[in-house]
Amino acid sequence: MEQHYRITVRDTGESFPCAGDQAVLAAMIRSRRGPLDYGCCNGGCGVCRMRIVSGDWDLFRPMSRAHVSETDLEEGIALLCCVQPRSDMIIARV
């Protein structure tokens, strides 16, 4: 059975579950919690750009580097449609 993690939105205190094989954005949309800002759901438009404040995560698809620079990535900024959790996570608006 796939591991589930809890994703908390720092700005609002809302949280939702996310499976380890699911995009954080997809889990947010399904639970209807969080900012719910999204577009392409494929790493291209940059609308789902947020800061990952804490937790472990992986990129499971390429992100548009036009929307996330190397410096952004070092600061934990990523496109949530490209991120899968590897632990509980706290995210926040950029």
Binding residues vs ligand FES (CB under 6 A)? 25, 38-41, 43-48, 79, 81
Residue with Cβ nearer ligand FES (1 or 32): 32
Q: How do beta strands 77-79 and 4-9 pair?
A: unpaired
Residue 57 in tokens: 């995560």
* CB-count burial class (<10 Å; 0-12, 13-18, 19+) for 1: exposed
Judged by CB, which is closer to ligand FES: 55, or 83? Answer: 83
What minimum distance in Å lies between the beta carbon of 63 and ligand FES? 7
| Minimum CB–partner distance for residue 85 and ligand FES (Å) | 16
Q: How far is the CB of 13 from ligand FES (least distance, A)?
A: 23
Three-class SS of residue 68? Answer: coil
